[in-house]
Structure 1
């Protein structure tokens, strides 16, 4: 719980709330602006150049989590945003620290996550020619502008509040994507007129053109073979998605980011199956496909372009550019907020000539069986372990995953979850090392909920130092690592090319011992039964527990 400090507890160097509010340092102006937008937690690492920001966090009620690497701070803030629905905030210092977080910014951009990164920058009048100042680089804003939605370098203390309001306006009114705000070093410490606090205006839900809504509703009403495809952009419209699925007797398939928007045990749910050739072929035969909040991109379909749809493709997205994405242009483009748009479609299709629900249920079951048969030789060995994980999870558990075989082949399609649960996956950009710091961010947001991280040994070691951060939380957090002694996916691709594996085989590390060295617990589970037992203990032990599942590598 966030608490506001009383004046007596305010650090000596922080004037809030007794000082003249019209003149603030840049550091205080930033923290004041964040607090005005409801920020109560930030992730980051203090450094020589950002101490003026840190000096004001406590006075404005902003709690702080300190990962061991800036990339971990970015992933933790990303996950915090995903599970709370509010922007995640990460604080870095200059130069290398900002570049360290760039991969996490790229991941947030790919997955439409509202992540705000704030950093110091070189002084206002710093010469363009190199001077050798600590952490100096040619242009931080140019570097971040290429991975974020925007990078804003302020030129006065008064502009700081404007920049923060701009970022939150983006998060609220457009496709949410990461933003970076840079504050020159001299402005962080300078006291200048700050102006009144500014806040982003509330955004009214955007609703598509009425004529297009009616056209889409007519196609859905008349469809005999409808289908729904749900991406991450449908997350805020879960109730409406379920209503349309049942109202139209339409089977529903999701992308990785849309996982479990509709209960994956529902008889009309195909789960995460957009990559299945059988499901892709089935989609092309539908007379109406409603795709909500998805790019229909290669990262979800695993093919460069889906086969052409024979029926009408209706796309719903807040981003107009997505009407043409993935090589599948919309026949009916509905640009607007998913919840508001689907509300209208639910009303307009109440008199739909629904498909036969018995036939639709049977068709869904047959498709799931076909999907499983396609991948059975590859995926079968993960299934008993995934069943053990599922049986240990509460209905509202949060699972984070890495760009690892056990996750995209295993857990995404086969670990069935309900709508109260969340599954966080680094789709699109496909970074390694996401699962552990993301689990920390999720646990910081919801300490009362179960959190389980799934990873491979290769991906884990991109961010394994965050076990120390997890230990500092003093909360139960389970980390399940499927250990194939290296980079299994790349090893398999090399073999498929006829190449001898190179630089993909690693000596097996004693990861349970490493977890204990960081202040947690460690275990090895060679069977599903051993995994179930270890998880049962891990989810009630107030420290991170790393559980290794050794895999054959031959």
Structure 2
């Protein structure tokens, strides 16, 4: 078949020029000129069973790989199906490029009754992501891809969208892709760095909070904590920034009142790369006697907790500057981490119940470097956040901010392809599974050897608990579930049901080396 260099080639060649070798998407009537060029440009086209799954897969791909994830949709419903995933990437600060086809030039917004026609889908996307751009030519399409990859460097990562009219996809193109120049992050003020270093060194009760903006600064956060003898707590997106087996690690315990009380008493509270949002704090708050905020995004430096001192810059570079500026003998060093971690674990246990034991059993069965994928499930936010220790960042895929159900299975797809060879496991609830159960077929198709542990509590237990707390009789939360193990087998996976914690560990360990995914139905009803 003749390969025509057209608007589709402009996009795909530009993606390949920026190192993209995998996209997630579903071919449709209006985006086929993109699909024409994938194979010739060395780009794998992975087909989830729903465009929302494509978006979640791209988000998790970016989360574990440090490279932007790319999702492709057709026009109209293909794009609107992916909107929740795009909003998730925005809430979780992940670099995702969503490319969609669109109505022909001049037809947009005219209500002509065309296939997949929408009123103004680029405008709608612009309210969800960092920016959306509808292009008018093949050259502009190539330039928009370059602009996207430039946007992904040197600033807080956020998703973007490019809409390409179907006639532009078919338009002849003789250009060449231009590779984006990296944008340098803001450099911290050296005078402010020196002042903060002196303050940290003099502190008797320093505390470090590391968020998602610190995930690429593990050596620096760890070294600074060791120099100060400072406990380190993370947000959920910062989980693993300091090895959770490290003596100074307090884990992802920022929501717990024991931690928030300790922060309030800190005479040097250093917050690195976090907005300190309610999705992490659960109606609590972070305050400190002296607050220092370090962030690459200037709009975050006083958000939700006013700062006494601010450092605008990349986390790793800023922390290296602080370490170099520290006096030789900081005042800190009293071991406050062990008792603080114990207090946090005791508090977390009140919510976790059986989920703590489940996570311990799953953790024991998996390799140390496993990437764990969760969902908006009690077993994740009451369990995995606190009881599945990680040795490093970018190994926990979960959406605490947008808190969407159905993230787990497609995110496992993206995580597995984003870090090939790394063990991946999924641990989620039955309600979350049913939001995207169709993606089990995609995992089978890709022959991904991963355990999928489904903790079955019979429906939407969190919402049932909230109804009960408000004096509302349970309504809409007690759900009929299929035979999960039989459903898995019907899709080509291995399916197992158990109620034994010991058997759970054995099944998880066996699933890591299986030929394809294994769904383990763990019934706790």
TM over 0.5: yes
C-alpha distance 76-248 of structure 1, shift in aligned 2 (>3 A): same
Q: What is the DSSP-based 3-state SS (H/G/I as helix, E as strand, rest coil) of the residue aligned with 1:396?
A: coil
* Runs of 4+ residues over 6 Å off in structure 1: none
1:242 to 202, 222, 234: 222
2:102 to 110, 117, 121: 121
TM superposition shift of 1:215: 1.5
Q: Are 2:386 and 1:386 aligned?
A: no
Partner of 1:409: 382
Partner of 1:285: 265
Partner of 1:400: 373
Q: Are 2:518 and 1:545 aligned?
A: yes
Q: Are 2:182 and 1:202 aligned?
A: yes
Q: Are 2:287 and 1:308 aligned?
A: yes
Q: Are 2:297 and 1:319 aligned?
A: yes
In structure 2, the gaps of 5 or more residues are: none
TM superposition score normalised by structure 2: 0.98
TM superposition shift of 1:421: 6.8
**1:441-473 deviation digits (Å, cap 9, x = unpaired):** 111123311100111111111100000000011
Q: What is the DSSP-based 3-state SS (H/G/I as helix, E as strand, rest coil) of the residue aligned with 1:263?
A: coil
Of 94-103 and 346-355, the range deviating more from structure 2: 346-355
In structure 1, the gaps of 5 or more residues are: 1-11, 16-23
C-alpha distance in structure 2 between counterparts of 1:373 and 1:192, whole Å: 63
C-alpha distance in structure 2 between counterparts of 1:67 and 1:180, whole Å: 19
C-alpha distance in structure 1 between counterparts of 2:313 and 2:350, whole Å: 42
Partner of 2:343: 370
Q: What is the DSSP-based 3-state SS (H/G/I as helix, E as strand, rest coil) of the residue aligned with 1:448?
A: coil
Q: Are 2:417 and 1:444 aligned?
A: yes
2:486 to 510, 513, 527: 513
Q: What is the DSSP-based 3-state SS (H/G/I as helix, E as strand, rest coil) of the residue aligned with 1:271?
A: coil
**1:490-533 deviation digits (Å, cap 9, x = unpaired):** 00000001110110110232111111111101112312211111
C-alpha distance in structure 2 between counterparts of 1:395 and 1:14, whole Å: 46
Q: What is the DSSP-based 3-state SS (H/G/I as helix, E as strand, rest coil) of the residue aligned with 1:72?
A: helix
C-alpha distance in structure 1 between counterparts of 2:392 and 2:426, whole Å: 18
C-alpha distance 185-69 of structure 1, shift in aligned 2 (>3 A): same
Partner of 1:342: 319
Mapped contact 1:220–1:352 kept (Cα < 8 A):
no
TM superposition score normalised by structure 1: 0.93
Partner of 1:4: none
2:130 to 143, 149, 152: 149
C-alpha distance in structure 2 between counterparts of 1:354 and 1:514, whole Å: 60
TM superposition shift of 1:373: 2.4
C-alpha distance 74-421 of structure 1, shift in aligned 2 (>3 A): closer
C-alpha distance 128-279 of structure 1, shift in aligned 2 (>3 A): closer
C-alpha distance 352-97 of structure 1, shift in aligned 2 (>3 A): farther
Q: What is the DSSP-based 3-state SS (H/G/I as helix, E as strand, rest coil) of the residue aligned with 2:217?
A: helix
C-alpha distance 283-53 of structure 1, shift in aligned 2 (>3 A): same
